[in-house]
Structure 1
Amino acid sequence: MGEAQIERPTSPFDGKAFDVENALLMYALSYATMPAEGIYDQPALEPLRDSIKDCHIYLVGLTPVIQTQAVTQDGTNMVTSMSVRGQIHDLRWAIPPNVVLKGDADQGWWGEDEEGRRCFPDEVTIGMRLKLEAGVDFKVLYIGQAFGEEGSRNALDRLRKHETLQKIALQGVPAGYRLTLLMLEIQPGNSTITVINPRAANRSQGSERIRMGLDKLFGTDEAERTTLYEAALIRYFQPPFNTIFKKSFPSTNLKVLADCYDKDFAAVVAEISIDELPFTLFSDTVAHRHNHIAKFDLHDDEARRVFFA
């Protein structure tokens, strides 16, 4: 009797074209956010300048108006009553020992210790609490970028003369909402994801393709990353005021992707995963999520799809 043949389990990696495939990973490193009308308010912009200077991606969207209705003391807790979409949300904060609540609706409120030092939950902390407890969100209406010569322009430079921003504002903002800007800084270096597939049809180019991933993918410059990140987010969120990239990304006909195909990327990934954002992002086509990952295969050939099969 012959030996019984042991069948190897099938795998989604069986028969793929190459034993090594590379993807370019891009993610938002930091952010700045502000009401759209604030782009001309120089004193208000001053504390944000360091955060904004390297932000080349911007999102325009709607966020609910948030107002502080009252701040009171309840035993050892400070209670900030915040109005969001007409509903009051009471946020409780433990008051440190020897701190007294001071202020009023005109001056604002703060805690003050025996030496006169002031303390109060900062905007980021309050925003994160409201995001979780009141469902504060950001509806994406438009996505754009500004880069210039060797990164000489940032998002704010572009937004000050932005026709689409003016168009959105002129069409009107729903009651209870405000037009808000989210500006993102993309990570300064290149990150790649490499899949090594021992079941590929062609397993003779592994070393060469690894070297290509290191040499060519790491040669992608900041201007290219900025455009790829913008294109991926537009394709993902489908913002109503964007036209380019909404349906055409990815495509071999796009100039922005010509270099990607030359470097033989198999996929691109653009992430927004910042825990400190004071709202959750969503659009007409993308549900509310704390983290968003726009991921796209660049090849129609099924044999090249190994990342998002």
Structure 2
Amino acid sequence: MLSDKRFDVEHALNMHAASFFYMPAAGIYDRERLEPHAELIAKCHIYLIGFVPRVNFVNAAQKDRDLVLTYEILGKSYDLVWELPPEAMLHHENGLWYVGDGTGRRFFPNEGACLQRLNHQYGVIKFLVKYIGQAYGQDGSRSALDRLIKHETLQKISLLGAPEGYRLELILLQVEPDNQIITIFNPFAENKKDGSARIDQGLEKLFNTSEEERVALYEAAMIRYFSPEFNMEYKNSFPSTTLKILQDCYDKDFSAVSAELVLDDLPVTLYSEAVTPTDMHFAFHDLHTDEARKVFFAM
């Protein structure tokens, strides 16, 4: 299988999401609520716009030593069961539910934890990706949130309205700040004389790829992968030798680029019209059509 490949050294540029911030689209103007998360948001240059089923809290009840929270999603009921600590009891006061332990302390499962459990337990919190974009600015000074505040496509999707039982949500992503290169050494390749030069090209790319380039490539790779309804650019044109964002990869004769979106604590499962729901998304793209150059994702 490797004997019909051209070069003994091939590289792929690999990028992945390092962290995220999840929020309702309507919350982009609520600066007071966003302020505690400002440091994380400032690092997020990629954004996903999509529809998620509405999660309606129905009731809380205590059954023996268990706290049972009931939710309604798309007309169906789902229960989450939490084991209560000793002495803890459920209370309802002034329209609010809380758990007290007899010492004056009050607590209750937070929304993020409940969403995550609902999705992991029942698989019902699915995020339909409708648009992917990025913002960077000068030296990374512009975050995804800065872009979304005056975003025509977000406004368009909002005006068109969400399907019944759904609401418009946002995921802001931080792309891993460190460069990653995947390299294959193939002793059976046709050309073994250029190995040293090709290793040098990989090292140069490893140490000199800018954050701005990583963000742009991550966006393009994910757009091609998800093929969201409202994206136009990159859906059918990535990868291509004519794209400026790929010029350095082609100059250094890279074989492929890949973008990963795997976040264990993301409370939703991503999908699109082109991609089935899953918790792990890998956007692999060969940069060459020649079969002799496809060594990473076509094997």
> AA paired with 2:181?
T
In structure 2, distance between residues paired with 1:242 and 1:84: 28
Which one of 73, 94, 111 corresponds to residue 84 of structure 1? 73
Contact 1:25 1:268 in 2 (8 A): yes
Separation of aligned partners in 2, 1:114 and 1:106:
20
Distance 2:205 2:21 in 1: 31
Q: Is the alpha carbon distance of 1:105 and 1:77 closer, same or farther for their aligned partners in structure 2, counting shifts above 3 Å?
A: farther
What secondary structure is seen at the aligned counterpart in 1 of 2:37?
Answer: helix
Correspondence for 1:112: 100
1:153 aligned to which of 119, 142, 151: 142
Other-structure match for 1:242: 231
Matched, 1:307 2:280: no
User: Contact (CA 8 Å) 1:70, 1:105: kept in 2 or not?
Assistant: no
User: Mean alpha-carbon deviation: is it higher for 68-77 or for 36-45?
Assistant: 36-45
What is the 5 A alignment of 1:1-309? 12-104=1-93, 106-107=95-96, 109-132=97-120, 133-309=122-298
- Structure 1 residue 15 displacement after superposition: 2.3
| Structure 2 residues without counterparts, runs of 5 or longer | none
Asked if structure 1 preserves the Cα contact closer than 8 Å seen for 2:255 and 2:286, the reply is yes
TM-score normalized by the length of structure 1:
0.93
C-alpha deviation, 1:16, in angstroms? 1.0
TM-score (normalised: structure 2) = 0.96
What amino acid is the match of 1:187?
Answer: E
1:121 deviates by 2.0
What per-residue deviation string (whole Å, max 9, x for no partner) do you get for residues 179-204 of structure 1? 00000001001011110101100112
Q: CA deviation at 1:217?
A: 3.1
Conservation of the 8 A alpha-carbon contact between 2:269 and 2:277: yes
Measured in 2, the distance between the counterparts of 1:42 and 1:102 equals: 32
C-alpha separation between the residues in 1 aligned to 2:148 and 2:88? 42
One-letter identity of the residue aligned with 1:223: E
Instruction: Measure the CA separation in 2 of the matches of 1:258 and 1:143.
Output: 22
Q: Distance in 1 between matches of 2:249 and 2:165?
A: 43
Residue identity opposite 1:256 in structure 2: I
| Root mean square deviation, CA, Å | 1.3
SS for the counterpart of 1:81 is strand
Check whether the contact 1:25–1:269 (CA below 8 A) recurs between aligned residues: yes
| Structure 2 counterpart of 1:8 | none
DSSP 3-state at the match of 1:13: coil
Aligned length: 297
Distance 2:93 2:168 in 1: 28
CA distance in 2 between counterparts of 1:101 and 1:111 reads 5
CA distance in 2: counterparts of 1:105 and 1:289, whole angstroms: 40
Aligned residues: percent identity?
52
1:23–1:265 CA contact under 8 A, matched in 2: yes
Partners in 2 of 1:272 and 1:104 — Cα distance? 42
1:260 shift after superposition: 1.3
Deviation at 1:173, TM superposition (A): 1.0
CA change 1:247–1:150 in 2 (3 A) is same
Q: Is the 8 A contact 1:72 1:79 kept in 2?
A: yes
Is the radius of gyration larger for structure 1 or structure 2?
1
Q: How much does 1:283 deviate?
A: 0.3
Equivalence for 1:4: none
Q: Is the 8 A contact 1:217 1:263 kept in 2?
A: no
Shift in CA distance, 94/105, structure 1 to aligned 2, threshold 3 Å: farther
Q: Is the 8 A contact 1:84 1:134 kept in 2?
A: no
